[in-house]
Amino acid sequence: MVNFSLEGKVALVTGAAYGIGFAMAKALAEAGAKIAFNCRSQANMDKALADYKAEGIEAKGYICDATDEAGVKAMVEDIEKTLGPVDILVNNAGIIKRVPMHEMPSEEFRQVIDIDLVAPYICAKAVLPSMMERRHGKIINICSMMSELGRETVSAYAAAKGGLKMLTRNIASEYGEYNIQCNGIGPGYIATPQTAPLRERQPDGSRHPFDSFIVAKTPAARWGTPEDLMGPVVFLASEASDFINGHVLYVDGGILAYIGKQPK
C-alpha cells in the first residue's frame, strides 16, 4: 500500500509564517508531521503562531535569518533537542525584486541570490549530517517556473531559481546513496495576498492586464492557490516518493507545456 503518512516525522519549513509556506506546513501537519518554521520578524512570528494555533497545529517557531549559517545551525540543533531530528526540510523562504537588470544595483542582485539560493544550501547543509547518519531524509526546494523561463525584470530571481534547480539535482546526486531524496516544487502563479493587486478588477470592471495575461497563458485558465501545493509537498515528503530524486515538480496549471493561443 502506498504510504503518504508523515506520522512521527519532523518537518522544518523555512519562511512558513504565511502564504504558500504556511499552506505546505499545514499539509505536512495534517499528514502527521511535527512542524518547525522560521521567519525574520517578531510581528510575523506572533501572527503565524496564532494562525497555526487556529488550525490546531502546534508549530515551533524560530526568529532566524536563513542566510545566517550559525543561526541556522543553532536552530536545527534546537529542533533536534525539542522535536527530534529533521526528517523533512522544505526550503521555501525567498524574495523577488522586479527591476530591469541594467538598473538593478549589484547589492540587490546579491541579496536575491543570497536568500533564494545560498540560504537553501545553508539549511540543507545543516540537516544533511543527521539524515546521512540515519540514512533517511527528504529535502524539498521551492523552485519556480523561472527555473526554466526568463522574463523581464526578474534576472536575479531567475538566476537564483535556476541555480536552485541545479542544487536540487546535485544534492540528489551526491546524497542519494544515503536514501536521501532531494526534489523541487515549481509553483506557477499563485493567488496570495502578495499577488492580490495583480488580480484586482479595473475601474471599468475588466481584469487587470497581468491577470488576463496569466489566465490566457495557463491551460487551467486560472491562478493556482496555496492549496494546490499541499498534495505535491506531502507526496515528496512521504515514502510514496522514495524512488524520485532530483526532480522538479511544476505545479503551474500547464503553463510550461503551453505555447499559447494563436493571435486572432
Query: For residues 201, 206, 208 and 212, what is the CA-based torsion angle, rounded to 10 degrees?
Result: 130
pLDDT at 8: 96
Q: What is the pLDDT of residue 88?
A: 99
- H or E stretch at 46: helix 42-54
CA distance 28 to 35: 8
Amino acid 244: pLDDT: 98
Question: Which burial class, exposed, middle or buried, applies to 56 when counting CB atoms under 10 A from its CB (0-12, 13-18, 19+)?
Answer: exposed
Q: Which residues of the chain have pLDDT under 70?
A: 1
How many distinct helices (H) and strands (E) make up the chain?
8, 7
- Specify the DSSP class assigned to residue 88: E
Grid cell, residue 138, equals 527528504
* Active site positions, annotated: 157
Contact status, residue 201 vs residue 208, Cβ threshold 8 Å: yes
DSSP assignment of 67-87 equals T-HHHHHHHHHHHHHHT-S--
| SS3 call for 90 | strand
Q: Report the candidate in 12, 22, 126 with the shortest Cα–Cα distance to residue 60.
A: 12
**pLDDT tens track for 67-98:** 999 999 999 999 999 999 999 999 999 999 99
What pLDDT, on a 0 to 100 scale, did the predictor assign at position 260? 85
User: In the structure grid, which three cell numbers stand for residue 101, read together?
Assistant: 537588470
Q: How many CB atoms lie within 10 A of CB 179?
A: 14
